[in-house]
Chains A and B, each alone.
Chain A
Amino acid sequence: MAGGSDAGCWGKFLAGSAGGVRFKEIGGKLIVLFAIFINGLLYGGTYALLAVGFALVFGVAKIVNMAHTGFYMMSAYLIFIGVSVLGYPLIVAVLLTVVGAGLIGVIAYRLFLDRIKEHETAVMIVSVGLALLIQELLLLFFGGHYKAIPPFIHGFITISDQQVSYQSILAIVVSAVALLVVWFLLSKTMLGIAIRAAAEDREAASLMGFNVGRISMIIMGISVVLAAVASSVAASIFTIFPTMWLHPLVIVLAAVILGGLGSIKGSVIGALILGFAESIVVLTVPKGGYLGGVVSLCIMIVILMIRPEGLFGITFEEERL
């Protein structure tokens, strides 16, 4: 068969393919609303756990920790190592990861961030470097291969013709419980009072006898634990790879700024808004599904144009909770 023998079949198809792809909307159904609700909660819940951790560190230690989602990624890999390499049951791997990640967070704070915390720009650059270090180490040991963690619960339930996995429902529940625990910790315990005091005014808190340095270290540990919890429920649904920290970082930054920098409540609401926005874009503009992240950022910009301090910025609120 001579070369180019099939070229004749080609011309007309290529000529005809120049036009854009048409597609049909599937909107106008209750199914879509339900899907938006479920997926908005799932995305929003995961983002909220990450955003709260980020906001806590910023509020208390005044650190813009760009490595926050790097810890989220690291936790996913730790769970993977526990389950797939060491052969531990998933629950054991998750518990070890949550504890281990918290310790790593504390050590990273003492080693890299504590000594330069007064220099905000330097802290930000070092934290970016820390995230890249985690990324490169993962690339070194695991390559660019995509990994997955088995879910806690296999199977799914069909609600309103939508197939919702049990793991998705678990993720929503765990996110809600973790956020309630954070709320309880901050509002009902002595540690919470100390954290809030340090967040409000570091000098005053120090004069009142609180060890602000130690509180900052503890809050860093709590923040990374929250990232690990987010990872433990979401990583079973998503794919794990060494650059998976980038997209959540953008969303978390957007959520925290949208909610009002330093406001815990604002971070949760900001994360939920962005989670729902992403879900709405994917469902209502299927061909523009890849624009989910961009739309989230546009929402952030529009809200900041109207309220520069964010939805719950400290200008309008004395309490951050």
Chain B
Amino acid sequence: MQKHKASWMYSWAACLLGFLAVLIFSSPGLAKEEEVVKVGVVAAIKHMMGQQTWAGAEMAAEEINAAGGIKVGGKTYKIELVKADSNEWASISDAVGAMERVITLDKVKMVMGGYRSEAVLAMQDVAAEYKTIYFSIGAGHSQIALRLVQDYEKYKYWFRGGKPQSLYGGIVGIAVVDMVANKFKKELGIEKPKVAMIAEKVLWADETLKFMKMMCEKKLGLEVVYVTQPSNASNDLRVELNAAKASGAHILIHLVSGPVGVAFGRQWGSLKIPLAAVGYNAEAMKKEYWKTTEGLCEYEALVDYVSSAAVNERSVKFWKNYEKKYNDYPMECALSYNHLYQWKESVEKAGTFDADKVIVELLKNRFEGPGGVYRYEPKDAKFPHDLVWAPDGASTYGIQWRKGEKKTIWPDGNALTWFGDPRWKGIRFKGTVDYAFPPWVVDYWKKNK
């Protein structure tokens, strides 16, 4: 009897163990340990640029993970994003430290981030040292790409992210200036409108200022009558705006970001400075800008890198989802979204996370998403690993604030004849509108022609 009881107990115990074993090994999380690949986002997390970099990466990671993750060598990897504050506005050495930390401690396979060109140059060195693929997100200076010309093997791990280099933005800026100058001619009878320029004193703006001034004078034949360079920490432009008006200029090119960017929109609109404002203003790309300036930014025209117009199917979807999820408009930093997809596709093609092999695939990659078709300049290009700027490449858009919304005004369907570039003829996306003058500019120049 005793023996029978023991045998019965052993049978039950065996059944129980078998049942538990089935439960444990049939569980997807435990049967096969889930593989994870880490990607670093090293950005100014407390600032808009860093928040957008994170948001774009987060959206892409969620989509990729929901679709199964990255498939490499028969295994599937989920993406885990690692956040590190670059604090690049205050300290470049902080950015370098954060970059080193995610690579050496968190063992990330790829890094995205770095908006300030000065910081990116230092972060690029860290990526080169640790042979880690690095997409800088938003930094626009040409020097970053020119380092690859000097030493490709060392710097080949870097790729321009977010937007094409600043000078392409300069070309689109000039295209919008040309559009406005033609409008002065047609509607107000001013044959050769004059130009004033306000550019904050930082690396990217210095380069773009020189380029745009030269293009205005040599290609458009417009006289630049006033140039000023306030500090990038300045938060007041009343003196500069009045001086621009006193110079007799009709068009005001502004190259600003940060506090000076908000000051520009508020003061240009509130003082009704009678110059048509065209330029680059990082703050003006945000949805909140309309509220911050109390709508005084209406009619400010800008160069932007994401458009609400129907550039392609994915861009329309991205814009809607981004606005819904983050209550903001996406700007160039949110295009970290594109780069995570590009890297995922290249890793899958290469069949490995090995950086050297992934680079080869990245140079062949072509990703159609928000901002256009993202693809890279090859090793022997003038600017290696820069985003190709073309109608079928990464596009740049002219936008104008109108009734609380950013409306696309360029590409407007015309070729860039002054630049010897016919490729843009006929390119005009659904949702594009014509540039409109601020009413006070029209009133002033009708009286003071």
A residues touching B (Cβ–Cβ < 8 Å)?
A: 1, 3-7, 9-11, 13-14, 16-17, 19-24, 26, 29, 31-32, 35, 39, 139, 143-148, 150-151, 154-156, 161-163, 165, 168, 237-239, 241, 243-244, 246-247, 279, 282-283, 286-290, 292-293
Contact = CB atoms under 8 A, between A and B. Distances in A.
A144 B390 contact: no
Contacts of A5: 388, 390
Nearest to A11: B382
A279 B230 CA distance: 12
A244 B259 contact: yes
B246 A287 contact: no
The CB with the most chain B CB atoms within 10 A, among A6, A11, A238, A241, is that of A6
A163 B243 CA distance: 10
6 smallest A-B Cβ distances: which pairs?
A144-B47, A286-B228, A23-B227, A4-B381, A290-B231, A290-B201
Main secondary structure, interface of B, reads mixed
A6 B89 contact: no
Interface stretch (B2-10, B23-31, B372-380): B372-380
B292 A148 contact: yes
B210 A143 contact: no
Given A147-B292, A161-B245, A162-B242, A290 B229 contact: yes
Interface string B233-246: 11110111111011
A287 B232 CA distance: 13
Given A1-B423, A5-B390, A148-B293, A282 B240 contact: yes
Given A31-B246, A156-B270, A238-B263, A288 B238 contact: no
A35 B388 contact: no
A286 B240 contact: yes
Interface in B208-242: 209-211, 213-215, 218, 224-236, 238-242
Given A24-B226, A145-B47, A145-B48, 15 more contacts: A3-B375, A4-B388, A7-B377, A11-B382, A13-B211, A13-B214, A20-B210, A21-B227, A23-B228, A29-B246, A39-B238, A143-B48, A146-B283, A244-B235, A290-B232
The CB with the most chain A CB atoms within 10 A, among B270, B377, B383, is that of B270
Contacts of A290: 200-201, 229-232, 234
Contacts of B375: 3
Contact of A154 (B231, B270, B392): B270
Contacts of B231: 289-290, 292-293
B183 interface: no
A146 B262 contact: yes
Contacts of A6: 389-390, 421
B421 A9 contact: yes
Nearest to B215: A13
26 contacts: A3-B377, A3-B388, A4-B381, A6-B389, A7-B377, A11-B382, A17-B207, A17-B211, A23-B227, A24-B247, A29-B246, A39-B239, A143-B48, A144-B47, A145-B288, A148-B266, A156-B272, A161-B245, A163-B242, A163-B245, A165-B271, A239-B235, A239-B266, A244-B259, A289-B234, A290-B232
A279 B247 contact: no
Contacts of B294: 148, 150
Contacts, number: 177
A21 B89 CA distance: 26
Contacts of B292: 146-148
Contact of A21 (B210, B243, B266, B288): B210
B226 A286 contact: yes
Interface string B243-282: 1011100000000001111110011001111000000000
B393 interface: yes
Nearest to B227: A23
A144 B89 contact: yes
A148 B383 contact: no
A1 B392 contact: yes
A21 B213 CA distance: 8
Contact of A7 (B227, B273, B382, B423): B382
B160 to A, nearest CB: 12
Interface in B12-45: 44
B259 A289 contact: no
